[in-house]
Amino acid sequence: MTKSRKPNGDSTIYQAKDGRWHGYVTVGVKDNGSPDRRHVTRKTRPEITKAVRDLEAKRDKGKVPKAGQRWTVESWLTHWVENIAALTVGENTIDGYRVAVYHHLIPGLGAHRLEKLEPEHLERLYAKMQKAGSSAGTAHQVHRTVRVALNEAVRRKAITENPATIAKAPVLDETEVEPYSVEEVQRLLLEAAKVRNTARWVIALALGLRQGEVLGLQWEDVDFEAGVILVRRGRLRPRYKHGCGDRCGRKPGYCPTKINTRRETKSTKSKAGKRPIGVPEELMKLLAEHKETQDRERLRARDLWVEKRYVFTSEVGEPLNPNTDYHRWKDLLKAAEVRDARLHDARHTAATVLLILGVPDAVVDAIMGWEPGKSARMRRRYQHMTSPVLQQTAAKVGGLLWPAGVQTDNDEAAGQAGSGRSQAGPLGVQPSIDPVSDQSMVFVANVGQRLVPFLQHEHALALVERWNTERPGRSAEVEIWEQAKWDNEGPGGRGAIRDREADQRTVFHAYAAFRPGGERVDLSVPEQWSIAAWDFEVDLYTDRSVSWRTARRPGPEQLVEAQVRGTDKAAVAAALAEALEQAVDRAQNPGRYGDVEEW
């Protein structure tokens, strides 16, 4: 009688010569197409029968781990964060994942076998983190990260269940954010008028834009005619690498020749985040004045200016660093003598203002950039729009924060501070000028074919007298213009009128250029020179002790320039050595500095 064979795929049990029982169970197919048969062994037949039946039950429920690498928590999390998550999430999200993985999860749980990880292991880690000083919010971020990572492990059958879905994360007490009162907002705006980039803080308090949204604004996003700002990108925190070959002994962010390896902005993370916002008329005027001030800074910086079209920039045109911006906010709070709060709390204040005004929910959602499914919850926490609705909302916000006829004892100083504007400051306060200027006169120093306007006659006269003394043969005189004539015909308009004396510095310059490969070019320009420059001579003047940059000059030769300038001669000389070293390296290694089309 012929013995029949079991069908392919059936489980097999047999006893080996050593007396042990062995079982094979087909649980699926391997990546190469061959059957995936798992082996178990026991001492007795009842034990092996039970083991085979248990493995068959797991197979039928889809809970058999995939064959292949046996993961530890450390190896899986490293693989997940670098090879899976990094390809599918944004820069800020992956930064948060990496902190959770490398600073908390791997040091606390990395040695566990992935399939042996239990919910209790995670809960003990969270408790240990809080005992060491981490907040409940940090522990929650770690919990969310490991849950996402292990969900991916389940999908890929590296494990059969996710212990993070069972583990309990620490309870989060959602703190109630107390928005600033209108009076506090007005005090902040008065102080903002005294600092550079005044409009940046007015936008935060009046419109509630997120920090990244404000810092990512470019002039193409500002429609002065329609009175609308279009939010469509956010500023990313820079990430640096050493430009010195790691020789300086500092962290990359503090390297004197640091190189930013991250793009500057990214698109808004949701469709709701990309939105038009109606801007109060007073704020639109402030933005126009800010643009004039930036134009003067551009001329003053001369060859150091990097044109990137951002609305809010450093003194040389670079986008503002979010970390620096945060510290400027803290300085503003101290100066205004209001309670300390996060920069993001300015957004809460703006949202509350909108709700107080009775602005419809749909309009609030559009202005704040809240997604429809989450907007109700966000409105409770904070307590495609047509142009008429945008303008009506802008008028309501403007009427609350810029009330007509309001004036305080400090308003006159605030109106004159900062960029020397002669029109109303952020709260609609008209700055004080001398009695002659009250008669709508502008005193213009005509020096070397330049027209420099002043509010006070003595300031214009002092400039002319000193100019005639220092530069004989180049005539200078004071002209008196009517305010209306200057507004219509004067270069720079009303925003150019000064309420202080002109400033003068001795400025030291240094310059060199190199061809691709590092060969220095003789451009018949002295390597170093100095000149006494007035602040209105923007092509020569600077008030910084030293600043330098390297740049690839547009044109067929692709020259790399090293440019240094400042008021401290020794600092300029020292910076020149660094600038020359980087310029040579940049000429030899253009890709390292992003001087390639695909960057």
Model pLDDT for residues 233-259, shown as the tens digit of each residue: 888 888 888 888 778 878 888 788 888
| Catalytic residue flag (residue 382) | yes
Q: What is the CA radius of gyration of the chain?
A: 33
If pLDDT is split at 50, 70 and 90, which confidence band does 391 have? low
Selecting among 370, 402, 481, 593, the annotated active-site residue is 370
Of the candidates 577, 598, 595, the residue with the CA atom closest to the CA atom of residue 256: 577
Which of 300-314 are b and which e, b meaning 16 or more Cβ less than 10 Å from the residue's Cβ?
A: bbbebbeeeebbbbb
Give residue for tokens 């009250």: 438
Give residue for tokens 């990244």: 212
| Catalytic residue flag (residue 5) | no
Sign of the C-alpha dihedral, residues 279, 281, 287, 288? positive
Question: DSSP string covering 19-79, please?
Answer: S-EEEEEEEEE-TTSSEEEEEEEESSHHHHHHHHHHHHHHHHHT-SPPSS---BHHHHHHH
Terminal-to-terminal C-alpha distance of the chain: 77
Instruction: Give the DSSP H/E element, type plus range, for residue 230.
Output: strand 228-231
The neighbour count for residue 456, using CB atoms within 10 Å, is 17
Of the candidates 428, 448, 445, the residue with the CA atom closest to the CA atom of residue 490: 445
Q: CA torsion, points 510, 516, 519, 525, in degrees to nearest 10? A: -30
Of the candidates 584, 596, 599, 595, the residue with the CA atom closest to the CA atom of residue 257: 584
**Which residue has better confidence, 242 or 394?**
242
| Catalytic residue flag (residue 210) | yes
572: Cα separation from own chain's centroid: 30
3-state secondary structure labels for all residues of 42-57? ECCHHHHHHHHHHHHH
Residue 22 has pLDDT above 60, yes or no: yes
Contact 171, 182 (CB under 8 A): no
Selecting among 241, 266, 328, 379, the annotated active-site residue is 241
* Residue pLDDT, tens place only, 458-482: 888 888 888 888 877 677 888 888 8
pLDDT more than 90, % of the chain: 19
* Residue pLDDT, tens place only, 479-536: 888 888 887 788 777 778 888 888 888 888 888 889 888 888 876 656 667 888 888 8
Contact 258, 240 (CB under 8 A): yes
Would you state the structure tokens that stand for residue 238, as one six-digit string? 């820079």
Selecting among 63, 344, 457, 505, the annotated active-site residue is 344
Contact 202, 224 (CB under 8 A): no
Strand 275-278 to 228-231 pairing: antiparallel
Cα–Cα distance measured from residue 180 to residue 352, given in angstroms and rounded to the nearest whole number: 9
Of the candidates 552, 559, 548, the residue with the CA atom closest to the CA atom of residue 513: 559
* Residue pLDDT, tens place only, 89-121: 877 788 889 999 999 999 999 999 998 899 999
Cα–Cα distance measured from residue 450 to residue 277, given in angstroms and rounded to the nearest whole number: 39
| Catalytic residue flag (residue 549) | no
* Residue pLDDT, tens place only, 346-357: 776 766 655 544
Selecting among 210, 348, 459, 586, the annotated active-site residue is 210
Of the candidates 343, 282, 293, the residue with the CA atom closest to the CA atom of residue 315: 293
Cα–Cα distance measured from residue 310 to residue 116, given in angstroms and rounded to the nearest whole number: 52
| Catalytic residue flag (residue 334) | no
Residue 268 has pLDDT above 80, yes or no: no
Q: CA torsion, points 234, 235, 241, 244, in degrees to nearest 10? A: 150
Contact 308, 319 (CB under 8 A): yes
Q: Is the pTM of this model over 0.75?
A: no
Which pLDDT value is given to residue 310? 94
CA 123-128-130 angle, 5° bins: 100
3-state secondary structure labels for all residues of 312-336? CECCCCCECCHHHHHHHHHHHHHHH
Cα–Cα distance measured from residue 99 to residue 53, given in angstroms and rounded to the nearest whole number: 43
Selecting among 104, 347, 348, 396, the annotated active-site residue is 347
CA 576-581-584 angle, 5° bins: 120
Q: Is 507 exposed, middle or buried (0-12, 13-18, 19+ CB in 10 A)?
A: buried
If pLDDT is split at 50, 70 and 90, which confidence band does 152 have? very high
